[in-house]
Structure 1
Amino acid sequence: MSELRDQCDIRIGFPRGDEGSPARWLRTIADYLENEDVTDEIYLSGKLAEKLETYCADVLGKPAALWFPTGTMAQAAAALIHAQATGRKSIALHPTSHLVLHEDDGVRELLKLDVAIMGEWPRVIDARDVQTLDDDPACAIIELPQRHNGGLCPDWETLTGAVAEIHARGARAHMDGARLWSTRDALGGRSYAEICAPFDSIYASFYKEIGALGGAILAGDEAIVEQARLWRHRQGGLLIRGWPMIADALRRLPAVIEAMPACIGAAREIAGRIRETGFQIEPWPVQTSMFHVRLPLTKAEFAAHRDAIARDTKVWIGGSGWELDARPGMSLEIAVDAQLAAADRGRLVAAFALLKRRIDA
């Protein structure tokens, strides 16, 4: 599959990276390190980590922030901190949450916390979902945007109402902001700091929309971040040398944030044109830089069509597809970054038109 994908000059996929080969990618990071005059930094204690954490704390409007090697580790730390602070042993999650679907039941098996499901698959969390929880959780996690609903976002009133109800139950509100960077437009043009203000802690990814090698940030008040530092160490996250990932995030963040409005605009145009070929788009209208194309296929059937289209057109129409909800068919995930936004949209849409003809044949 990877060989066929690499032969295509237009590629939809995840995770994304626009640096070419791994060797070229590392050379680009090396150039950045030389320009910044960075010396060897061990145990995440140098100026690179401090610069990234300070930058993120400022952008997210929180007193402090801490780098983690993975988002899974960052959110585990947040859950444990909030459980310890409240003396409670459960966390509330939407059914589409990453912690429910993609972490091998780590909340129960590793963190030894219970899970309470709030809300329903096809919609965002609202205050009623929090009110109807049987027990008071340690924290409730709200994902912005909801990946498995195609980047679905609540409106501001719904979001703040849900967070207020979380706090009314004596619980902490944590944001799974893996793709936070594309939510400003959907939330009325508010700044990242305004969006994060209602939350006690926030996680954001450096590879999902930013496209860096890896890593994540956890932001909150000073007490939360100091406890997070302990939990990072306890979970094995105090890397001897994290600077390749940290440097990659630092060099990318400002440019990607600046380009995000254009990526969202491109996502809306691309989605609209794919919709005209006969496919259903979710959500509609598109709210962020990602969306889903609903397909009446299994993942195996889609892969066969995708590979044939790639051989004919040199357009790779995707790798991330999901058969997770109760409906027949699958959701094809499309996330638009600067590279995809600059691609030939005529060829991209023509590839989906070809897919539609193949399905209908």
Structure 2
Amino acid sequence: MTNDEDLAKRLVAAGRAAERTLSSGGRDATVGELLAGLAAPDPDEPADVYGDGVVARLEERVAQLLGTQDAAFFPSGTMAQQVALRCWAGRTGNPVVALHPASHPELWEGGALSVVSGLRTVHPTKEPRQPSAEEVADLAEPFGTLMLELPLREAGFLLPTWEELEALVGAARDRDAVVHFDGARLWESTVHFGRPLEEIAGLADSVYVSFYKSLGGLSGAALAGSSSLIAEARVWRHRYGGQVFRQFPQALSALDGLERELPRLPSYVAQAREVAAALGEALAGSPVPWFRINPETPHTHQFQVWLPYGADRLTEAGVRTAEETGTVLFRRWSPAPVPGVSVTELTVTAAGLDWSAQDVHEALKAFLTRLDP
């Protein structure tokens, strides 16, 4: 067993045994626990076949929530976005997609936009923030689609202001381009924007949403938009291998997430802001020579913490803290773009709602005590 494999097992074991955590880890649940959460409202309902039944009900619910004419279920967000951007390239006659270089298709999809779909990308900005309307307006070449990742995860789960978002969409329209939202985590953006989901999604021509990143579903995604776009997307979904025979486990867990987690997300955002403030206060009074909470006031229920130590050292300290105290504050750390600095993501869900500022201070103290030189 490699050191990394051993560390991964320790992270999972510590997470499962923890008495206090801000959010459960993605690998903490067992198969039995996940299956136990799949109770159907009507166990005698016929199983879905190629997207009917419970899958169709999920699609209707998503379209209703986002205020779109239709929505299509996809086995993955990667496939949903590939199809959306390919459809728009055909409709606009322009294969160029304007997006941030830190967006999901650029970092986590193996170059599929160009390799699989024959598209090309341009970047309005390389700064670790959302692009501005001026940058979109000043792009040197025509583009068919502007894709906005809301929130932009790699930059700290950042969102523009509502006025900035309206201006971005307007700048794209002025360039005769369509607008697609990568809304994998759009569900929790309502607090920051101060607008309902329907109004936010209404700015775009198409929206992708995830069922597991915020809603706790097993997997899967949806693409929402006009009836004609979604009809075309369903054709491409089949071509891409996404016409799966049965998908009721994913659909049931997604519907459960929409019923159970979606109403709670505003409380998670509010608590994340309390945790971030307490953590910043605790770090400011600690021996740590430098730190960054990014953003200082979280836009969603997720944010970044930057510290001036190696990633392995920080991860080990976090695991030891969990193993020895039963409290999980930090999980895995990664090297930041700055040498000698590492970054981690904190997520606050139901498990973290009862954390007080004092709890955060004590957890950080226990963590720093185990940060061996």
**TM-score when scaled to structure 1?**
0.92
The answer for the alignment partner of 1:175 in structure 2 is: 181
Q: Which amino acid is 1:69 matched to?
A: P
Q: Secondary structure at the match of 1:331?
A: strand
In structure 2, what is the equivalent of residue 77 of structure 1? Answer: 83
Q: CA deviation at 1:40?
A: 1.5
Q: How does 1:288-307 map to 2 (within 5 A)?
A: 288-307=300-319
Is this contact kept in 2: 1:138–1:171, CA < 8 A? Answer: yes
Give the aligned partner of residue 200 of structure 2. Answer: 195
Three-state SS of the structure 1 residue aligned to 2:157 is coil
In 2 relative to 1, CA 129–293 (structure 1 residues): closer, same or farther, beyond 3 Å?
Answer: same
Per-residue deviation at 1:132? 2.5
- Counterpart contact for 1:43–1:241, Cα < 8 Å: yes
Distance in 1 (CA, whole Å) between partners of 2:314 and 2:132 is 34
- Choose the corresponding residue for 1:28, options 24, 33, 37: 37
**What does the per-residue CA deviation read over 1:165-199, in whole Å, with 9 as the maximum and x for residues that have no partner?**
11211211000111111111111x21101111110
**Residue 45 of structure 1: aligned partner:** 52
Partner of 1:317: 329
The question of whether the paired residues in 1 share the 8 Å contact of 2:278 and 2:360 is answered with no
Secondary structure of 2:87's partner? Answer: helix
Taking the aligned partners of 2:339 and 2:123, their CA distance within structure 1 comes to: 20
SS of 1:190's partner is coil
Contact 2:151 2:183 in 1 (8 A): yes
Shift of 1:37: 3.6
Residue 140 of structure 2: which of 134, 137, 148 is its match? 134
1:267 aligns with 2:277: no
State the partner residue of 1:329: 341
Q: CA deviation at 1:82?
A: 0.7
User: Which of 228, 243, 262 is equivalent to 1:238?
Assistant: 243
Assess, with a 3 A threshold, how the Cα gap between structure 1 residues 317 and 195 changes in structure 2: closer, same or farther.
same
Task: Using the aligned pairs only, state the percent identity.
Answer: 31
**How far 1:246 moved relative to its partner?**
0.4
1:148 and 2:154 correspond: yes
Q: CA deviation at 1:209?
A: 0.5
TM-score, normalised with respect to structure 2 = 0.89
Work out the CA distance in 1 between the residues paired with 2:232 and 2:330: 40
1:202 & 1:177 partners in 2: Cα distance? 6
Which amino acid in 1 is paired with 2:321? I
Structure 1, unmatched stretches of 5+, are none
User: AA paired with 2:109?
Assistant: E
For 2:320, the equivalent position in structure 1 comes to 308
Q: Is the 8 A contact 2:63 2:69 kept in 1?
A: yes
Structure 2 distance, partners of 1:162, 1:245, is: 34
Identify the residue that residue 95 of structure 2 maps to in structure 1. 89
- Choose which of 197, 208, 212 in structure 2 pairs with 1:207: 212
Amino acid at match of 2:79: M
Q: 1:260-310 CA distances to partner (integer Å, 9 max, x unpaired)?
A: 121111111111111112142111222211111112123222222112212
Contact map agreement 1:17 1:211 (CA 8 A) in 2: no
Runs of 4+ with deviation above 6 angstroms: none
1:164 and 1:43 map into 2 onto residues whose CA distance is: 38
Unaligned runs of 5+ in 2: 1-9, 284-290
Q: In the comparison of the two structures, how many residue pairs are matched? A: 356
Give yes or no for the alignment of 1:3 onto 2:13. Answer: yes
Q: 1:164 to 1:268 in 2, by over 3 A?
A: same
Q: Which amino acid aligns with 1:40?
A: A
Tell me the distance in 2 between the aligned counterparts of 1:360 and 1:99.
38
CA contact (8 A) 1:10 1:348 kept: no
- Equivalent residue in structure 1 for 2:107, among 91, 101, 114: 101
